[in-house]
Structure formats: structure tokens, C-alpha cells
Chain A
Amino acid sequence: MSAAEPGESTPRAHHDLGGVPKFLCEAVDTAPHALTDFDRRVDALRQILGAAGIMRVDELRRGIEAIPEATYHRLSYYERWARAITDTLLRKGVITEAELTAALERLA
């Protein structure tokens, strides 16, 4: 093996952050934080989709990991979930782009 520390010279995926030395300098924020209504709704939606056999948690993780790097770091935890759920449902044909656009317009 090379003497380089993990993550410096290997082609890791951008979400594969564990063990990258540059993050050792930043303390992990372990303080409890409040969930928003949005967070709760997204979590509930994921549970319903799982219980209905439409989407597994593994597909959620895959969808989160597929978010482009700049967007990934800009989104909150549950915003990543919402993005991954949306992408998965579109790809599987559970919803269509037209339905999604129409639903978003009703909210606007």
C-alpha cells in the first residue's frame, strides 16, 4: 500500500466520508436537535413506501449517494431523503415528471 492516508489518493465516492483525515479536526455535533414537520413527513413517507413494498431503504441510500456532490452538501439530511425518494419513484415509474410538476405547481 502507498503511504498516503485514506481518501487522499483513492477514488472514493464523495459520500464515503468516514476515515478521511481532514475531517478529524472537526468535532462531531452530537447535540440533540428538533425535527421539523418536513423531516417527519419525509420519514413517514419513506416508511409507507417501505411497508407498501415500493421502495427499500437500500434504494433510499443508493439514491442519496447518487445526488451530485455540490447538491449533496447543500441539502439537509431529510432534503437528501426527499430528493432520493423523488428520483427513485420517477425512475421506477411510480410517478411521472408531469405529475410531479403539477403537484409542485399546486403548492406554489
Chain B
Amino acid sequence: MTPLAPGARVRVRDDWPETRGPVHIRTPHYVRGREGVVVRHLGDFPNPEDLAFAREAAILPLYHVRFAPRRIWPSGVSADGLLVELFGPWLEAQR
């Protein structure tokens, strides 16, 4: 898998594995289905979704992805940036 470059536009998969049985996922509910921009590739790490069940874990790229808070919380009062650590398989590249 080619790492996503800084500046790449991505969409977080609108997937809800927690509805299908026991899981451990590091993708917060509030970014699912949302668009953001890759800020940096943080490195490659064993998939915690598998480590949590003591399974063999693939090494996955981890990214900092920036989101526009006002698009997620339209009535929110904060204009702070929102930076979330997300693993590659959760991200779909956007044109």
C-alpha cells in the first residue's frame, strides 16, 4: 500500500463494526463518513484491532488527519483544529 501523502484528501469509512459483534477500534464515531486532509504519516504500527484480541496483527500506516470541526459540529462554538490519528484501512482517498 502506497502511503498517503500530506495534503491528500480522504474520507473516513462510514463503517460501524461495533454493530456486528465484539471489536476494538480506534476510529472515533464522530469522524466516520467525514472528509479530512492527511497532515502526516506518523509511522507504521501493528493493527490494534487485532492486538486487542491477541491475534496476529498486520503492520499498518498511521496518519494524522485534520478535519473541519464546524462541519462535524455545526452548532459548536470552538474553531479549534481537530487532528485525529487514523489507520490507513479506515481512509478512502478522495479526488
Question: Mask for A1-45, Cβ within 8 A of B = 1, else 0?
Answer: 101011100111100101111001000000000000000000000
Min CB gap B47→A, angstroms:
9
Docked Cα-Cα span, A52 to B74, in Å, equals 48
Q: List A residues at the B interface (Cβ < 8 Å).
A: 1, 3, 5-7, 10-13, 16, 18-21, 24, 56, 58-59, 61-62, 65-66, 92
Min CB gap A60→B, angstroms:
9
- A5-B73, A21-B73, A59-B54 known; A16+B24 contact, CB < 8 A: no
* 11 more A-B residue pairs beyond the given contacts A11-B18, A20-B30, A56-B51, with a C-beta to C-beta distance below 8 A: A3-B74, A6-B29, A6-B72, A7-B30, A10-B16, A13-B18, A56-B54, A58-B48, A58-B52, A59-B54, A62-B24
Q: Using Cβ atoms and an 8 Å threshold, which residues of chain A touch B76?
A: 21, 24
Cβ-defined contact, B19 with A58, below 8 A = no
Cβ-defined contact, B28 with A58, below 8 A = no
Cβ-defined contact, B19 with A11, below 8 A = yes
Docked Cα-Cα span, A65 to B24, in Å, equals 8
Q: Using Cβ atoms and an 8 Å threshold, which residues of chain B touch A92?
A: 54
Cβ-defined contact, B52 with A59, below 8 A = yes
Kindly identify, within residues 17 to 36 of chain B, every residue whose CB is under 8 Å from any CB belonging to chain A: 18-19, 22, 24, 28-30, 32-34
Docked Cα-Cα span, A24 to B73, in Å, equals 11
Cβ-defined contact, B74 with A19, below 8 A = no
Q: Using Cβ atoms and an 8 Å threshold, which residues of chain A touch B19?
A: 11
Q: Using Cβ atoms and an 8 Å threshold, which residues of chain B touch A12?
A: 18, 29
Cβ-defined contact, B30 with A6, below 8 A = yes
Which of B22, B52, B53, B73 is A19 in contact with, Cβ under 8 Å?
A: B73
Asked if B75 is an interface residue, CB under 8 A from chain A, the answer is yes
- A5-B75, A11-B19 known; A58+B30 contact, CB < 8 A: no
Min CB gap B62→A, angstroms:
14
